[in-house]
Amino acid sequence: MSAAEPESPDEDCFDGWSLHQLPDGGEVFASPCQRVRLHFPSTPAWDNAVTVAAYNGPTGEPLWRARFDDTAPDAVIGSLMCALAHDLAQPDRYDQQRALVGPAVEDPDDLLASARNCPGATSPAWCGCPRPFGLEPTYLRRAGWRLWGRGDDGGRWHAHFDAATPAHLIAAACHPLEEHPACAFAPETADGPQDGRASAPLETLLAAAREVVAETGRITANALADGVRARGIPVGTERARKIAAILKAERAAGLL
């Protein structure tokens, strides 16, 4: 992925971002506020080819890092970067802060809706076909999360996220991977999710739920589910509960 032109669904997000050459030959793509930087080392290691880092100030300490190996898809990195840039471009500083200190991942299943959409699944949480990607805790859960996927050659690529990486940014990185492959275990009559509804990405649900909270002031699973469904977005009761927990954490942190 070109540092000057990150692959993303909305390149206008990157207005004001700047590319800097480092003395060692590496490059840094930096946000206008200098609190988020995309680093391309001059001699990338296999498991640390691209690093996205957020800082508490232009010269402050790092808040979290996301590291991608040299075979990670450009679309995965670009999607995370566009979500970051979108947050930082918001006029409200609380919305900007969501890119730096948003709620962290608690349950990876919340971010991987595609596994529950598998037409061959025998339960909402289990899929019978080969997993195209996954999100797992590192060997020490507090150390963060590892996202993996399969390249065109069948080999695995990896990305590592510090535990403090905001959940909606990890969800954004997962979005390009969410189309589920044809399932060899699916009944011939099955043509969609078991409940007949597509499951919206977490970031989409959160955006709609925040609108509901802004309108009603209520953060309960039932109120959020009703408001999100009224916007034409299907959401189950369990996901509504988890979204309510995330938004309560945002309100407690002063981000909502």
Shared domain check, 174 and 88: yes
Shared domain check, 209 and 153: no
Question: What average pLDDT score do residues 16-24 get?
Answer: 88
**In the chain, what percentage of residues exceed pLDDT 70?**
74
Pull the structure tokens for residue 31.
Answer: 């946000």
**Cα gap 117→199, rounded to integer Å:** 7
Shared domain check, 8 and 38: yes
Q: Kindly tell me the sign of the dihedral angle through the C-alpha atoms of 169, 171, 173, 176.
A: negative
Q: Does residue 151 register a pLDDT over 50?
A: yes
Shared domain check, 165 and 38: yes
Tens digit of each residue's pLDDT (9 = 90 or more) over 167-226 = 989 988 888 876 555 454 444 433 333 343 445 778 888 889 999 999 888 898 888 888
Shared domain check, 204 and 233: yes
What domain range includes position 112?
A: 1-180
Residue 9 belongs to a domain: yes
Question: What average pLDDT score do residues 17-31 get?
Answer: 89
- 162 sits in the region (left: phi over 0; alpha: psi -120 to 50; else beta) called beta
Shared domain check, 203 and 146: no
142 pLDDT band, cuts 50/70/90, is: low
Residue 191 belongs to a domain: no
**Count of domains for the chain:** 2
Residue 189 belongs to a domain: no
Tens digit of each residue's pLDDT (9 = 90 or more) over 222-241 = 888 888 888 888 887 778 88
Shared domain check, 118 and 44: yes
Is pLDDT larger for residue 14 or for residue 165? 165
Q: What is the predicted pLDDT for the residue at 191?
A: 35
Cα distance from N-terminal residue to C-terminal residue, the chain:
34
Is pLDDT larger for residue 193 or for residue 31? 31
